[in-house]
């Protein structure tokens, strides 16, 4: 069986994090992704190109093709219009108004190809008071309320180690929006515009935390909820172990909490799961001291004798070597044209008839420019003229 998005062509102008994540997911699902960069990457080729110009492999370069194209030049725009006639989806990550000035905005593309699905990824969306405000991941999770809840007692907010607004919110939201628009096109025959705001997506991800505010309840600035750890509970927390590592405990349900207390030798704590004040502090202190008596992995082995919702807090190196993640093919080894067998992060989407595989690799900037233009009917002489004029790269 072919891949789910086999036959779908995507023109990707979203060079930053959310666009890269979106393009990788769509490429992994079988779409032909053509990443359209500037003809000369040093102009504005995206941070990955500038930070890792010689990197043989990094996210965003698998299951895609790369093309250098100067969209500010009339000839460059005409090439893009030719591509748009063959495409199903266009993604872009410019500031609002930029594509209109260049001449590659949705109304223009819609005239060229009425079936086109056009997705814009921005920090704050295409309208609203913040429309033209610049920002990055840290700003979007600030406005969306997430950063304000990530703080230890008495401390400032803690910046997450991964880009949640860019990837989990923006990139994944774009994939869902694009696929929904493609399904709608199957029914109507018409494409449509997809407006993705990373801040909007963060707000939706904050649903369980923001819900009380919708009901008019007063919420502490520290976000006192059990699930986020700011309302500390002994049975939903992180503990240091004898070897200086950590385990996480999530014994929310009474039966899991009872198992935890039994395995820790304090069945008398079972009836006090939701106790406050001095008793809760007593339980806390006992848990803290007890977990310091054995190593992290010893505790995991002990507590998994019964259902207690326990897990080791992994280092990044441990994530890469974790046997479960390897079994789930989230850490995979794939064939690379120059590196041989190379480790990669797999796909979170598991399809029984269309398993993930790395079909193509882009190893250098503009690697597929000539191939793509030949497919559009340009001959080699014309391609050489365009390259000499720096319209393509």
Active site amino acids: 136, 166
DSSP string, 68-125: EB-TTSHHHHHHHHHHHHH-SEEEE-PPTTHHHHHT-SHHHHHHH-TT-EEEEEESS-
C-beta contacts of 237-242 below 8 A and 24+ residues apart: 237/287, 238/313, 239/287, 239/288, 239/291, 240/288, 240/291, 240/292, 241/291, 241/292, 241/294, 241/295, 241/296, 241/298, 241/299, 242/292, 242/293, 242/294, 242/295, 242/296, 242/298
Burial of 189: CB neighbours in 10 Å, binned 0-12, 13-18, 19+? exposed
Q: If DSSP codes are grouped into helix, strand and coil, which group holds residue 200?
A: helix
- C-alpha 260: how far from its chain's center? 34
Q: Output the CA angle 141-201-98, nearest 5 degrees.
A: 90
- From CA 387, how far away is CA 68, in angstroms rounded? 9
Asked if residue 201 lies in contact with residue 122, where contact means CB atoms within 8 angstroms, the answer is no
- From CA 122, how far away is CA 13, in angstroms rounded? 12
C-beta contacts of 131-134 below 8 A and 24+ residues apart: 131/96, 132/95, 132/96, 132/97, 134/95
Phi-psi map region of 307: left, alpha, beta (phi>0 left; psi -120 to 50 alpha): beta
- C-alpha 306: how far from its chain's center? 34
> Residue 331 has what DSSP assignment?
E
- From CA 62, how far away is CA 48, in angstroms rounded? 14
Closest CA to 94 of 61, 113, 118: 118
């Amino acid at each position: 069986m072919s891949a789910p998005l086999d036959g779908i062509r995507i023109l990707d102008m979203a060079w930053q994090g959310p666009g890269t994540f979106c393009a990788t997911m769509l490429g992994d699902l079988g779409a032909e992704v053509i990443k359209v960069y500037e003809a000369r990457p040093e102009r504005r080729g995206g941070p990955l190109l500038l930070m890792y110009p010689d990197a043989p492999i990094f996210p965003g370069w698998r299951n895609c093709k790369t093309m250098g194209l100067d969209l500010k030049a009339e000839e460059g725009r005409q090439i893009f219009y030719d591509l748009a006639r063959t495409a199903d989806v266009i993604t872009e990550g410019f500031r609002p108004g930029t594509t209109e000035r260049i001449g590659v905005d949705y109304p223009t593309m819609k005239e060229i190809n009425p079936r086109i699905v056009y997705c814009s990824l921005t920090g704050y969306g295409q309208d609203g008071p913040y429309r033209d405000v610049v920002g990055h991941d840290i700003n979007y999770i600030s406005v969306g309320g997430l950063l304000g809840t990530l703080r230890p007692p008495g401390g400032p907010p803690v910046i997450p180690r991964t880009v949640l607004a860019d990837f989990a919110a923006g990139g994944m939201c774009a994939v869902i929006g694009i696929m929904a628009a493609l399904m709608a096109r199957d029914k109507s025959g018409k494409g449509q515009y997809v407006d993705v705001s990373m801040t909007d997506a963060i707000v939706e991800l904050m649903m369980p935390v923001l819900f009380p505010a919708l009901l008019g309840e007063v919420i502490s600035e520290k976000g006192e909820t059990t699930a986020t750890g700011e309302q500390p509970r002994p049975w939903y927390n992180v503990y240091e172990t004898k070897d200086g590592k950590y385990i996480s405990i999530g014994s929310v349900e009474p039966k899991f909490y009872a198992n935890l207390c039994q395995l820790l030798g304090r069945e008398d704590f079972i009836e006090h799961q939701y106790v406050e004040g001095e008793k809760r502090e007593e339980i806390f202190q006992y848990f803290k001291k007890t977990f310091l008596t054995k190593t992290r992995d010893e505790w995991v082995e002990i507590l998994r004798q019964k259902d207690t919702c326990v897990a080791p807090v992994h280092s990044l190196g441990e994530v890469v070597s974790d046997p479960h993640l390897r079994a789930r093919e989230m850490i995979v080894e794939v064939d690379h044209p120059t590196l041989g067998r190379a480790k990669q992060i797999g796909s979170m989407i598991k399809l029984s008839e269309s398993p993930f595989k790395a079909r193509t690799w882009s190893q250098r900037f503009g690697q597929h420019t000539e191939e793509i233009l030949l497919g559009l009917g340009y001959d080699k002489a014309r391609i050489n003229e365009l390259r000499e004029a720096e319209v393509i790269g």
